[in-house]
Amino acid sequence: MAEQKYTAKNIVVLEGLAPVRKRPAMYIGSTGIRGLHHLVWEVVDNSIDEAMAGFANEITVKLLPENKVEVTDNGRGIPTDIHPQTKKSALETVLTTLHAGGKFDSSNYKVSGGLHGVGVSVVNALSIWTRAEVHRDGKIYEQEYRQGVAQKSVKEIGKTKKTGTIISFQPDPEIFSKTEFSWSTIITHLRQQAYLTKATKIKIIDEREKTKSKAYSFYFEGGVKSYVSYLNRNRETNSSVIYFEHEENNVYLEVALQYTDDYTENSYSFANNINTPEGGTHITGFKSAITRVINDYAKKNELTKNMKGALTGDDIREGLTSVISIKVPEPQFEGQTKAKLGNAEIRPFVENVVNTQLSTWLGENPQEAKNIIEKCMLAANARMAAKAARETVLRKGALEGLTLPGKLADCSSRDPAKSELYIVEGNSAGGNAKQGRDRQFQAILPLRGKVLNVEKARIDKMIANNEIKSLIVAMGTGVGEEKQIDKARYHRIIIMTDADVDGAHIRTLLLTLFYRHFPELIDKGYLYIAQPPLYRIEKGKKFQYAYSDEERSQIVKKFKTKETDKINIQRYKGLGEMNASQLWDTTMDPENRILLQVAVDDAAKADEIFTKLMGDEVEPRKKFIQTHAKQVKNLDV
């Protein structure tokens, strides 16, 4: 190997905001649609921090033509005087310097979400154009930037009686694969932030099309109590919303919880308004306290005297919807994505508050307390029944692949990272898939008929279902209390169903199963949906496959020449209509196939959809169907 000189000249120093443009994903997670919306969240977070500090009560987000966004608040306005260290305006310093901001000074912000102080400067770096307008001290100040570089000094452009900051930006198409913002994504996020920042009005206006301008406003006095009511609006409830708040040593806790007839837990946690999907010390404290309090109350009032042992945490949280929001002066988040709170002192704080407040509520509401205990006992009985069923069905050997279901055509590879499992609708398609697959790394599990709707069934009924039982054994993960996701035998699990109504229904039932009982597989990126072609377009000896109506039209247009050969279009409704080689070429060959990876961008929204479409309540489902009926395509009749 030729010797290479490695000297100081080889060390690259990126100054200012250059590191952000060089490695944008390090700062916003990705340069896809999620990272694009992260720009909006960063700017909005600054305004929400002003609201949490008591200096703002109105925030407006505008979506403008050319994919521009404008965020306005009525807070104090970013200072514009000269910064002693940078010798530039404080406004320019905040917009062009990483780790610069008022959040590092506890006298300005007792709590804040944008702790790292990189938010607005990162937005500036990743935008082709940014404009900051500040209303402060009776004057209006302005400064513009291009890709994070100030175009001129801050200048005074007028007088004002208002205070606040307006940040406008246009994402850089050189950085982002797409620059069009999603109205529904922004609506959902801002609604959540309004619940978490009570008594603050948050408005969103879409002015991208001047003839179709639309607007929404959110304002909630009830805070997270209102949030829980919103989350449970399509569910049967077993209690009123239990709500309490407590502040001590500048730490503020808000808790709201309510029991429903559901069989799953739906809990959402936040630290300084930032969603913490991986939980943390605040959630550990909450779970520990609620388990202790309910067991103590049940024992004291002899409500579980006929039960063997105490209620487990899972028993107590079955059917529970809860929102835990904590605001901490100096949060210690684990990782740049802030998915988990690490402050050790928060666990005992939350435990003490929940112990005291929940005990008081149960004592003051004996009938509702009894309903809750009965709900928990039902869950305990189901858990014991499920354990018995699981011991019968999922023996130790099954998880090790010794008693895999007979209809599973397994692959020869034993490396989960290289192995994939196709869940196929019907024996006919399953037979074709078995013949067409690559036996080295592709396993096939055909399912017969429609699997059980787990949204309406407890885990013991689920395990007794033959199709679900076969799938669980094939995956090797176990289920319920003994679930071990790291034992998954395949790191690609692919749902492959027919392109008709029955296929869509089976796919939805399987997605419900994975979302409710194996969400970790989704989080790890293991779950996919196969995309078989909808059409085969043939002319003479030439043929092509189309995966959408638009693609079909393009192929037909291309085939329309002066030649007299007739164009034949075959619409595939079932996988069984393709032979083994066609199925391989179009849907299973890694070189040609199209797979959709299943991901959950918004857990609350996903939970709402599954509850509405797959739950017991008919009215929300009927309303959904009526609302969207005109959008349906390719409906079988």
Nearest to 182 by CA among 174, 193, 190: 190
Q: Supply the pLDDT for residue 557.
A: 86
**CATH topology assigned to domain 394-532+597-631:** Rossmann fold (3.40.50)
Residues of the chain with CATH 3.30.230.10: 224-390
Average pLDDT over residues 575-592: 90
What per-residue confidence (pLDDT) applies to 462? 85
Q: Give pLDDT tens digits for 410-419.
A: 999 999 999 9
For residue 626, report the phi and psi dihedrals to the nearest 5 degrees. -65, -40
* CA distance linking residue 196 with residue 244, whole number of Å: 14
pLDDT of residue 277: 85
- What is residue 605's predicted lDDT score, i.e. its pLDDT? 65
Q: Among this protein's residues, is 502 annotated catalytic?
A: yes
Question: What's the confidence (pLDDT) of residue 395?
Answer: 42
Backbone angles phi, psi at 589, to 5 degrees: -70, 115
Distance CA 200, CA 66 (A): 29
Weakest mean pLDDT among 161-170, 347-356, 600-609: 600-609
Taking 80 as the threshold, does the pLDDT of residue 101 lie above it?
Answer: no
Of the candidates 410, 498, 577, 607, the residue annotated as catalytic is 498
pLDDT confidence of residue 480? 78
Look at residue 404 and tell me whether its pLDDT is greater than 80. Answer: no
Strand partners, 297: none
Q: Which two tokens stand for residue 70?
A: 């404008």
**For residue 381, is pLDDT > 80?**
yes
504 — pLDDT class (breaks 50, 70, 90): confident
Which one from 58, 438, 502, 551 is the annotated catalytic residue?
Answer: 502
Pairing of strands 527-530, 492-496: parallel
pLDDT at 444: 94
Residue 437 CB burial class (10 angstroms; 0-12, 13-18, ≥19): buried
pLDDT > 70? residue 633:
no
pLDDT at 1 over 70: no
Distance of CA 264 to the CA centre of its chain: 17
Share of the chain above pLDDT 90, in %: 50
Using pLDDT thresholds of 50, 70 and 90, give the confidence band for residue 439.
very high
Q: pLDDT value at position 466?
A: 85
Among the options 314, 500, 538, 602, which is catalytic? 500
**In this predicted structure, what is the pLDDT of residue 330?**
86
Domain with CATH 3.30.565.10 in the chain: 18-218
Q: Is 137 a catalytic residue?
A: no
Ramachandran assignment for 525, one of left (phi > 0), alpha (psi -120 to 50 degrees), beta (any other): left
Alpha-carbon distance of 309 to 318, in angstroms, equals 18
- Residue 115: pLDDT over 60: no
Burial 601-629 (b: 16+ CB within 10 A, else e): eeebebbbbbbbebbeeeebbeeeeeeee
Question: Which pLDDT band holds residue 331 (cuts at 50, 70, 90)?
Answer: confident
CA atoms within 13 A on the CB side of 297: 28
Helix H, strand E, coil C: the string for 87-125 is CCEHHHHHHHCCCCCHHHCCCCCCCCCCCCCCHHHHHHH
Q: What is the mean pLDDT of residues 576-592?
A: 90
Say whether pLDDT at 627 is over 80. Answer: no
Question: Does the structure show a pLDDT above 90 at 105?
Answer: no
The class of domain 224-390 in CATH terms is alpha beta
Least confident of 7-11, 92-96, 261-265: 7-11
Between 494 and 574, where is the model more confident? 494
Query: In the block, which residue shows the tokens 């994070």?
Result: 148
pTM over 0.95: no
Residue 637 has pLDDT above 70, yes or no: no
Quick one: pLDDT at residue 30? 85
Average pLDDT over residues 32-50: 92
* Per-residue model confidence (pLDDT) at position 391: 64
Residues 349 and 341: their CA atoms lie apart, in Å, by 14
Let me know if 22 is exposed, middle or buried by CB neighbors in 10 A (0-12, 13-18, 19+): exposed
- Say whether 261 is catalytic: no
Phi and psi torsions of 148, nearest 5°: 90, 0
Q: What pLDDT score was predicted for residue 563?
A: 65
Q: Which of 626, 517, 624 is nearest to 233 (CA)?
A: 624
Q: Where in the chain is the domain with CATH 3.40.50.670?
A: 394-532+597-631
- Angle made by CA atoms 529, 533, 536, in degrees to the nearest 5: 170
pLDDT of residue 559: 84
Answer yes or no: are the C-beta atoms of 39 and 18 closer than 8 Å.
no
Most confident of 325-329, 386-390, 605-609: 325-329
Report d(CA 190, CA 204) in Å as an integer.
8
- For residue 60, the model assigns a pLDDT of 98
For 373-419, the DSSP string reads HHHHHHHHHHHHHHHHHHHHHS-HHHHTTTT--TT-B--S---GGG-
CATH of domain 18-218: 3.30.565.10
pLDDT of 386 reads 73
Q: Could you please report the per-residue DSSP string of 438-500? A: -TTTEEEEEE-SPPP-GGGS-HHHHHH-HHHHHHHHHHT---GGG--GGG-S-SEEEEE--SS
Question: Which whole number is the average pLDDT over 541-551?
Answer: 87
Is 589 among the residues known to form the active site? no
120, 65 Cβ separation under 8 angstroms: no
Return mean pLDDT, the chain: 85
